[in-house]
Structure 1
Amino acid sequence: MNEKPVILTLDAGGGTFTFTALQDEQPLIDSFPLHAHSDDLDLSIETMIKGFYRVIDEIGTKPDAISFAFPGPADYKHGIIGDLPNLTGYRGGVPLGPILEEEFQIPVYINNDGDLFALGESRSGFLPYVNELLERSGNPKRYKNLVGVTLGTGFGVGISINGRLLQGDNSAAAEGWKLRNKQFNYTNIEDTISIKALKRIYAEQIAISPENAPDPVDLARIAKGEIEGVQPAAREVFLRFGDALGDALAHLTTIVDGLIVIGGGVSGAYDLFSGAMLDEMNGYFTSLNGIKQPRLLQKVYNLENSWQTQEFTTTEHAVIVTNKRLKRKVYYQPEKKTGIGLSRLGTSKAISLGAYHFAMNRLTE
């Protein structure tokens, strides 16, 4: 193994495979794309192999592992890819990981992009950023767990616990898209949390076909009054989006109790949906006896807001407790807090660094 391990990786999005290599979290070469040939399995795998050999030639050293994100369904633990809707050549269980391991004689790790996004943000992005804010504020609290969500074509989720990816026994942990939809309890969350859903919600309000509805970027601009369109309908789109998202994130927070970071294309409309999202997360249940209780044990702070960030990091509400049986004073923070904010790395970079850290974890076990 190299003194500082070299990890080969690729991005399998957009009909291309984009290759690079990382060492000490930094790229060793400029990334380059090759056509994925997604409808021809043999040609697609051949392209992948050629791409990795080209990376090896450019870096001039033997790599220590290959690690990358690839669409599912898949048995990621064993590197086997299932029937992919967008890479139609992959059918019937493709042993992609074992094929690459035999070819290059190094370990190969494959995961989904939502998982690697979360891992990248937990090791190199949002989580260390938040802990640095706490340190600068003189607050002894440190966070170790993180939920990462990507908002785009669908609702991607990954969970990092103590810097390790939560994978599950069937490579199916954190499949957040399977959460029930608050607004339509007979379906899953992606019927509200997806690009397709955003277009549908706008179209339904103004009686047009969803195919003719603006994309999310233009919907956000309409909602802000920057371009022509039906502004009330566009604003309603993001209110519903935020409400459903807040419900899903509240469920995840109940289980994980960690920070939450948001990436993906639709995260650019954070200022439009975050209010409804936080209202839901910091809202209340009403018991059958009529008594209200907070939805979560934690209060969720918007770390894209300077005032809320200050409230999140402050130690003003902390208590130093003593007892006649104790010789020392103990720091006590009565309020349980968690924070939510946007990716500090960018989605693509976070996924790439997640792939790097996953490989490093496995190589050093």
Structure 2
Amino acid sequence: MKNIIGIDIGGTTIKGGRIEGDIIAEQLSEETNALEGGNKTLSILMGTIKKLMTKETTAIGIGVPSVVDRERGIVYNVQNIKDWDEVHLKSLLEKEFHIPVFIDNDANCFAYGEKIFGKGKEYGNFVGITLGTGVGGGIIQNNHLLNDANCGSGEFGELPYLDATLEEYCGSRFFTRVGNISAYEAALKAKEGDNRSIELYNEYGKHIAVLVKIILLVIDPQAIIFGGSIAQSFKLFDKSMYENLKNFPYPNSVKKIKILVSELQNIGVLGAGALCV
């Protein structure tokens, strides 16, 4: 990867970087202007790429919060970006820039970014899970992203759970619904010794244990790598998580699984760039 571009498209910002070797040599962030419509967002995206490109740039990788037809590079039903119901992004960008373009779901980009740049390097089979506003997942098997049909595997957060879905209990809305506080604020208070916040994270760990059990039963990977904002508070819920894994029917699986936390900065950009590998 001598010179590639990684683009992380979000509902509010487009983050892009030119990756040279294993480092981001230059990085930009632009407002998505999602409410103004798809053409405006597309124009901003192209402008960001133009600013980052050099004569040596060989490929572009893009992560989007939606399902993707990987082969044709068509993006469907992008949440939070108006009029991006079906965008033939690969063909549009390749016509404009004349280099290969690779597109995937942002959670898949996280997982593959960990494979290429992070703790996933030493594992051929693992699951990457992002814990933030939502719960996204990407599956690495035999050192590659799982070649699923619709780019939708690993979306464990959408599974029915209790009175809602796993995402409602493993994402940030758990803290606002149950504790009337943000995950970040709860983490700060828990570290200061606030008992209510400590208990809130202990309860959160119980739900994360359910997520881990499902991953073990469905995928049985070598490792699970957590990323996202809530994962940075892993030490506040790891004991509760492991305590609630003790009743798993296959204890040897729990004993062997490596549960890790990503240490990569700018993983959205790096993960998108990893698609070019």
State the percentage of identical aligned residues.
25
Give the superposition deviation at 1:245.
Answer: 1.0
Whether 1:246 aligns to 2:171 is: no
Give the superposition deviation at 1:5.
Answer: 4.5
Aligned pairs for 1:150-165 (under 5 A) are 150-165=130-145
Q: Is the 8 A contact 1:122 1:145 kept in 2?
A: no
Counterpart CA distance in 1 for 2:274 and 2:45 is 21
Give the superposition deviation at 1:62.
Answer: 4.3
Counterpart CA distance in 2 for 1:277 and 1:147 is 17
Letter in 1 for 2:48: G
Match of 2:27 in 1: 31
Match of 1:330 in 2: none
Consecutive unaligned residues of structure 1, counting only runs of 5 or more, are: 132-142, 203-212, 286-293, 301-336, 361-365
Shift in alpha-carbon separation, 1:273–1:175, aligned structure 2, 3 A: same
Give the alignment partner of residue 299 of structure 1, picking from 245, 254, 265.
Answer: 254
| Structure of higher CA gyration radius | 1
Q: Is the 8 A contact 1:157 1:175 kept in 2?
A: yes
Whether 1:66 aligns to 2:53 is: no
Match of 2:189 in 1: 222
Q: Is the 8 A contact 1:5 1:24 kept in 2?
A: yes
Match of 2:50 in 1: 53
Whether 1:86 aligns to 2:80 is: yes
Q: Could you say what secondary structure the match of 1:17 adopts?
A: strand
Whether 1:174 aligns to 2:154 is: yes
Q: Is the 8 A contact 2:67 2:151 kept in 1?
A: no
Deviation readout 1:56-78 (Å, 9 max, x if unpaired): 2xx3x142211021111443443
Give the alignment partner of residue 267 of structure 1, picking from 231, 247, 263.
Answer: 231
Whether 1:113 aligns to 2:139 is: no
Counterpart CA distance in 2 for 1:296 and 1:149 is 22
Q: TM-score, normalised by structure 1?
A: 0.69
Residue-pair matches, total: 275
Letter in 2 for 1:86: N
Match of 1:198 in 2: 175
Deviation readout 1:258-288 (Å, 9 max, x if unpaired): 111111111122122111211223x225xxx
Whether 1:352 aligns to 2:269 is: yes
More strand by share: 2
Letter in 2 for 1:219: A
Whether 1:124 aligns to 2:141 is: no
Consecutive unaligned residues of structure 2, counting only runs of 5 or more, are: none
Q: Is the 8 A contact 1:16 1:33 kept in 2?
A: yes
Match of 1:145 in 2: 125
Counterpart CA distance in 2 for 1:169 and 1:14 is 25
Match of 2:247 in 1: 284
Larger RCO (CA under 8 A, 6+ residues apart): 2
Give the superposition deviation at 1:155.
Answer: 0.8
Q: Which runs of 4+ in 1 moved over 4 A?
A: none
**RMSD (Å) for aligned C-alpha atoms:** 2.1
